[in-house]
Structure 1
Amino acid sequence: MTAEASTEIRDSRKTGSPGATAPVWARLRFEAAASAAEEPTLASLLNAAILTHDHLQDALSYYLAQKLSSTEMNALQIREIFEDAYESDPGLAKAAERDMSAVMERDPACRSFLQPFLFFKGFQALQTHRLAHWLWNEGRDTLAFFFQSRSSELFNVDIHPAAQIGSGVMLDHATGIVIGETAVVGDDCSILQGVTLGGTGKEFEDRHPKIGNGVLVSVGAKVLGNIKIGDGALIGAGSVVLKEVAPECTVAGVPAKPVSGPCMGAAKQMEQNFFNEGHE
């Protein structure tokens, strides 16, 4: 992609120009075409992954299948499964659009929609989970576990296919993220690398955290047990959370405790220096 095109795309996020509201798929195709012209060595990849397709879900079905294929299941078989999922549930593609927009809005290292689509394993792992979750809800448990296993092997992100995850979610860097079977993650959350949403004990039923909307769970945090994390909360890096967290509350430490004032919009702001001035 040319420097001018990249700058235009980044600036549109801030200025509210028409480009800022362009459909995700239209902008992704524009970026792919510009990058193919700028970097001919990637033209074949960009054409196969994006430019030959009519819709985002078609491109995702193709590209994720290429990523997840193995000796056990080839790319064509996986693509057919994913196409069936997207056709049966249009909400999957809408969630992918919101997830991609979330990365673009919150990650200062993200220069274009091409990055999460082609290169960010957090986005790819999340879309794989959404498809595995669809299979789980269809009663196809074994196939759902297959894709969970492949995602864990490939992306180092382990999300049980039964876990419920809202849209507009960013898994930043994503390495080492673990989300358990009965976990629930709300809309517009940001979850960073090394996070565990885990259970406690050996209870078979509800045993994992319930994360509200707009929550930021920072690097290496562990949230354990069937506890509720309120909307807009911020979990500090390296924290171990064993008790419920009130909405808009910031907690940190081992075990985690409230440490400062409200954290409005924590997930979107990505602000992790949450101590008040003079706080020690």
Structure 2
Amino acid sequence: MNAAVNDLWLAMTSEAREYGRNEPVLASFYHASILNHANFADALSFHIASKVGCDSVPAMLIRDVFSEAFVSDPSIVNSAAMDIRAHFDRDPACDHYGMPFLYFKGFQAIQAYRIAHWLWTQNRESLALFLQNRIASVFDVDIHPAAVIGCGVMVDHATGLVIGETAVVGNNVSMLHSVTLGGCGSGPGPRHPHIRDGVLISAGAKVLGNIVVGEGAKIAAGSVVLNTVAPHATVAGVPAKQVGVLSVDLPALNMDQYINDDA
């Protein structure tokens, strides 16, 4: 476990002890989800597997798959820690590190997707697709396991999020509920958007086709984006048009969704 993950884990265990003392009804929940585990990876595998397990494929079998993935690719655990910090830093409603881990389905869905993606890269496509289906059923988030998603990602609320097969999402991206990164066409090759680092995609936005949304761009709520977006541009409307240029480098970090303040 690297230092950043270890520091996060120490903070989460300290929080869990405090909140368990303050709310005895939840003490066993905090113990089972966090305090009963030796490290962040063990807790993560237990908690997310318990969400996506079902009668036909029990949570303990899925947890074994998670643990296998973490050993094979430790960056999955590091990315999860960065995602938690993204929620803590960007969401004013998130006032302790355990909140995304325990309660935020956007965070939980992305971590389950990361395992599905690892399975896809290992040519275990049937299990990857099974996890995709469970993620969609449990969290109302549909991410194709072949999609590529970076780290430091915050998906706030998350209900109705769709990310297609050939989509690529960079690092430090923020998205809200009902965002679609959708395809255009049915032929071979890339059909979905490439979202560069630091992009903010507001609620209900639809980004369609093999286009690029440049680094640090902002997409206004409810927009339908059909063409490439320049870096640090603000776009809005149906179809979306450029309405401004951002004065900040990475709008995903400050979550400012207004468009009138952009020059």
Shorter-chain TM-score: what band?
A: over 0.9
Would you say how many aligned residue pairs link Structure 1 and Structure 2?
Answer: 259
Give the alignment's Cα RMSD to 1 decimal.
Answer: 1.5
Q: How far apart are the structure 2 equivalents of 1:86 and 1:71?
A: 24
Q: How far apart are the structure 1 equivalents of 2:261 and 2:44?
A: 43
* Structure 1: gaps of 5 or more residues: 1-19
Q: How far apart are the structure 1 equivalents of 2:45 and 2:255?
A: 30
Verify: 1:146 aligned to 2:125, yes or no. no
CA deviations on 1:5-33 (whole Å, 9 max, x unpaired) are xxxxxxxxxxxxxxx99811111111111
Q: How far apart are the structure 2 equivalents of 1:22 and 1:274?
A: 39
Aligned counterpart, 1:275: 260
SS at match of 2:28: helix
Amino acid at match of 1:79: R
Aligned counterpart, 1:49: 33
Structure 2 length-normalised TM: 0.96
Match of 2:118 among 128, 134, 138: 134
Asked if the contact 2:82/2:151 (under 8 Å) is kept, the reply is yes
Aligned counterpart, 2:148: 164
Amino acid at match of 2:27: A
Q: How far apart are the structure 2 equivalents of 1:38 and 1:205?
A: 54
Match of 1:75 among 59, 64, 88: 59
Q: How far apart are the structure 1 equivalents of 2:200 and 2:246?
A: 13
Q: CA deviation at 1:194?
A: 0.4
Q: How far apart are the structure 1 equivalents of 2:31 and 2:45?
A: 14
Match of 2:244 among 243, 260, 276: 260
Asked if the contact 1:233/1:263 (under 8 Å) is kept, the reply is no
Asked if the contact 2:6/2:40 (under 8 Å) is kept, the reply is no
Q: How far apart are the structure 2 equivalents of 1:223 and 1:29?
A: 39
Q: How far apart are the structure 2 equivalents of 1:125 and 1:75?
A: 15
* Structure 2: gaps of 5 or more residues: none
Amino acid at match of 2:19: S
Change (3 A) 1:134 1:208: same
Q: Which aligned runs of 4 or more in structure 1 are off by greater than 6 angstroms?
A: none
Amino acid at match of 2:210: N
SS at match of 1:105: helix
SS at match of 2:181: strand
Q: How far apart are the structure 2 equivalents of 1:94 and 1:274?
A: 33
Asked if the contact 1:206/1:226 (under 8 Å) is kept, the reply is yes
Amino acid at match of 1:70: C
Amino acid at match of 1:103: H
Asked if the contact 2:162/2:181 (under 8 Å) is kept, the reply is yes
Q: How far apart are the structure 1 equivalents of 2:13 and 2:133?
A: 31
Asked if the contact 1:234/1:263 (under 8 Å) is kept, the reply is no
Change (3 A) 1:177 1:97: same
Amino acid at match of 1:160: H
Asked if the contact 1:249/1:263 (under 8 Å) is kept, the reply is no
Aligned counterpart, 2:19: 35
What fraction of aligned residue pairs are identical, expressed as a percent? Answer: 51
SS at match of 1:23: helix
Q: How far apart are the structure 1 equivalents of 2:245 and 2:194?
A: 22
